[in-house]
Structure 1
Amino acid sequence: MKPPTAAPGSVDGGWWPRSNDPTTEFPPLITAMAALGRPVLRVSYDLDAWDVVGRRLPVGDAVVRMEGFRTSQPHTVTMIGPDRARTRLLVIPPATPGGAARAALRAAADPCSTATVADLLEWNNVAVRRVGATAHAGWRTVEHPQVDRGVLGPQAAARDPRREVRPYEDEIAS
C-alpha cells in the first residue's frame, strides 16, 4: 500500500491473489484492509476476471457487498469504506511468476508512482491478456522469456526513466 501522503496515481497499492475465486481471496484482503485502518463495506470488481460470487460476502462479523461490473478494469479492485473512501488496488493475475509479481507489487506501492495499470503490468513483465467474455474466463498469463529473470527490455525501460536497462542474457552471451 502507498502511504496516505503519496502522489495520487491510478492505484493505491497492489494485490496478488492465488486464484480467481472471490469467496476464497477477498475475505483475507478485506480483513487486512481493516487492520490497516481502511474498513471495507463494498468491493467493486470486473465480472470477467473473477469466478461467480453472491452479492453479499460474509467476512468475520460483517457482510461486504460485492459489486461486479463488466466495465471495471480487469486488473483492479476498488474497495469502498464507510466514509465512501475508495482504495483501488492493482490485481496481479494468480499465475504470474513470483519475481514479476513482486516487482509489480513494489511498483504499485511506490509513493512516487502515477503510472497506469497497463504500464505497471507491462514494465514489470506481467504479461496478461483477456480471455473470452464470460464470467468464468479470468486471465491467462502469456509466456514471456524475460519474466522469470526479472529483466526489463530496452523498450519497457525507456518508458520509465527510473528503471535500469539491462541486456538480455542472450545479448550477453553473444
Structure 2
Amino acid sequence: MKAADAAPGRFDGGWWPGSAEPVIEFTELAVALGDAVGPISRVSYHLATWGAMDRKMTIGGRLVRFEGFRAMDPRTVVVIGADGRRVSLLVAPPGTTEDAADTTSSAAGLSGVEDAVALVPLPQGADARAEQRWEAEGGRVAAVR
C-alpha cells in the first residue's frame, strides 16, 4: 500500500497473489485490506484472468460480492468497503518472480497509469482464457470465406 502522503494516482498499492485461485486469494486479500478499507463489500476483477467462483461469499461474517468484468484491465483488482472506501491494486501475475513483484509494487506508486501498467506483464494466458470462456458461452468466430 502507498503511504498516506504519497502522490495521488490510479493505484493505491500493488498485490502479488500466490495463485490464480480467486476464492483463496480474494479471501486473503479481503482480510488483509480490512484496516485500509474497513468491512469489504465488493471485489472487482478482470473476468478472464481469474478462475470461476461464486458471485457472493461470506468472509469474516460479512457478505462480499465478487464482480468480474471483461473490460477491466487484467492487471488490476479493486476492493470496495461497505462505507464506499476503495483500494485499486496493480496486480503482479501469480508465478512471477520476486523482482517482478517488487517492480509491480513500485509501479503502483507511479502517478501515470500508462507508466504503471507498462511495467507489469499481462497474466499468462489472459487472452486465451477470455477466448475459451467466450467459446464456452456460445460465442463463435465467423468463418472467413
2:115 to 102, 105, 119: 119
Bigger Cα Rg: 1
Identity of aligned residues (%): 41
Corresponding residue number in structure 2 for 1:72: 72
User: Number of residues paired by the alignment?
Assistant: 131
Corresponding residue number in structure 2 for 1:2: 2
Corresponding residue number in structure 1 for 2:81: 81
Cα deviation for residue 17 of structure 1 reads 0.5
Aligned partners of 2:82, 2:121: CA distance in 1, in Å? 35
The C-alpha deviation readout for 1:74-123, integer Å capped at 9, x for no partner, is 11011111221221000110021111212221332x3xx2031x532544
For CA contacts below 8 A with separation 6 or more, give which structure has more relative contact order. Answer: 2
Instruction: Tell whether 2:24 aligns with 1:30.
Output: no
Cα deviation for residue 70 of structure 1 reads 0.8
Aligned partners of 1:39, 1:3: CA distance in 2, in Å? 20
Cα deviation for residue 4 of structure 1 reads 2.9
The C-alpha deviation readout for 1:142-169, integer Å capped at 9, x for no partner, is xxxxxxxxxxxxxxxxxxxxxxxxxxxx
TM-score (norm 2): 0.78
The C-alpha deviation readout for 1:33-87, integer Å capped at 9, x for no partner, is 1133533110111101100111102212122100111111111011111221221
Report if the CA contact (8 A) 1:47-1:135 is conserved. Answer: no
5 Å matches for 1:1-174?
1-36=1-36, 38-108=38-108, 110=109, 113-116=110-113, 118-123=114-119, 126-128=120-122, 130-132=126-128, 133-134=130-131
Distance 1:53-1:70 versus aligned 2 partners, 3 A rule: same
Corresponding residue number in structure 2 for 1:148: none
Unmatched tracts of structure 1, length 5 or more: 137-174
Moved over 2 A (4+): 3-6, 35-39, 118-123, 126-131
Unmatched tracts of structure 2, length 5 or more: 134-145
